[in-house]
Amino acid sequence: MEIEKGVMKRQLSLADNKKNALTKKFKTTGLINGVISGLTYGIYSTLVMVASGYDPLVSAAGFLAAPFVCSGLNDFIAGIWLLFYNAKKGRLKELGRTLKTKPGQMLVIGFLLGGPIANGAYLVGLAMAGAYAIPISATCSLFGALFAWMFLKQKPTKRVVLGMVLCVMGAIIINFVKPEGAPNFTLGIICALIAAICWGLEGVFSSFGGAMIDTDVAVNLRELISGLVVLILLVPAVGALKLLGGTIVAGTPLLWLAIAGLSAAISFVTWYKANATVGCAIGMSLNVTYAFWGVLFCVLFLGQTLTPTIVIGSVVIVLGAIIVTMNPLDLFRKGEVE
């Protein structure tokens, strides 16, 4: 009898050890996905600016034409990359089925806010304010928490309010000193802020519809719908059809946008996977580090001037965004990552 009890204890202990090892691996994978999502979105932001430096985009008339051409091509190409990915996983049929469901239709509203409107505004912000627009857009965590309070009745805690205040302070610091040679700097910052607001709203609609939809399918639909809406409706509306054709024929900017689209696709897929494994709070906290990566890459590769205001403001915004979405101390508490 005692021998049987001993054997059972050893078996239970072995099972617990295996379970703990799998849980640790699961969480580690989620954290890695979160880091990759932030890194690749920073790469995407930089590559779009690289593409914008080539003709005919760099010499385009008007401040909306080039950003919307870049936005439409980037999102559509990202959607094509994800079509290949989902085809390999055998999920292509799910795309049409998802659009027929109410949760899928709620997601589409979020896609329109976060895709054509937010991404278009973000790229206009990059064109006008350069790397300064990147950390401003990261205040989407602030607006996400604010809209969750307003529409989902999720009352913010004192920690969340502190994070919101830090985000606002960081934005003020970045705008404290305008860089030279940027006459439309303030307008660029406003556009980045519009992007942040729309991404915050997208989060609200995603919370309504995303729980019952496969994340890879949702991301694929987001990129395709966003790209098609911009290319079919917005590009003609801003008189940029000729610019669109010239960009495709030029080749070089299209190549950079294709790589940027791949980076965006990887970013969204890994972000959603991180949310599913370690929770939306930690997933979003790791994702908003794109503000740091984007500024760093612009300084290293695009010659962006590094000023005290952009350094301090970026750090304050990233810290504020992390505090909004989670208690940073949880990262240092064993077994607290959920």
pLDDT in tens, 325-338: 667 776 566 444 44
pLDDT classification of 310: cutoffs 50, 70, 90 = confident
pLDDT at 336: 47
Choose among 32, 38, 42: nearest CA to 296.
42
pLDDT at 10: 62
pLDDT classification of 227: cutoffs 50, 70, 90 = very high
In this predicted model, what pLDDT tens digit does every residue of 101-113 receive, in sequence order?
888 888 888 889 8
pLDDT reading at 12 higher than 60: no
Task: Quote the percentage of the chain above a pLDDT of 90.
Answer: 29
Greater model confidence, 261 or 28: 261
pLDDT at 230: 94
pLDDT at 82: 93
pLDDT classification of 250: cutoffs 50, 70, 90 = very high
Contact 29, 277 (CB under 8 A): yes
pLDDT reading at 132 higher than 50: yes
- Rounded Cα distance between 52 and 38, Å, is 22
In this predicted model, what pLDDT tens digit does every residue of 155-207 receive, in sequence order?
777 887 788 788 778 877 877 777 777 778 889 999 999 999 998 888 777 76
pLDDT at 325: 66
pLDDT at 248: 94
Say whether pTM exceeds 0.85.
no
Backbone CA torsion sign across 243, 304, 318, 82: positive
Contact 38, 247 (CB under 8 A): no
- Token digits of residue 313: 């403001």
pLDDT classification of 42: cutoffs 50, 70, 90 = very high
CA 311 and chain centroid, separation: 21
pLDDT reading at 236 higher than 90: yes
Q: 100 φ, ψ to 5°?
A: -85, -10
pLDDT classification of 21: cutoffs 50, 70, 90 = low
Residue with tokens 């001993």: 6
Which sequence spans correspond to the domains of the chain? 39-328
Choose among 87, 37, 79, 15: nearest CA to 231.
79
One-letter amino acid for residue 154 of the chain: Q
For range 72-83, the mean pLDDT: 94
Greater model confidence, 89 or 281: 89
pLDDT at 319: 84
For range 286-309, the mean pLDDT: 84
pLDDT reading at 141 higher than 80: no
- Rounded Cα distance between 288 and 293, Å, is 9
pLDDT at 194: 95
Q: Compute the half-sphere exposure of residue 20: CA atoms within 13 Å on the CB side of its CA.
A: 8
pLDDT at 47: 94
Greater model confidence, 78 or 30: 78
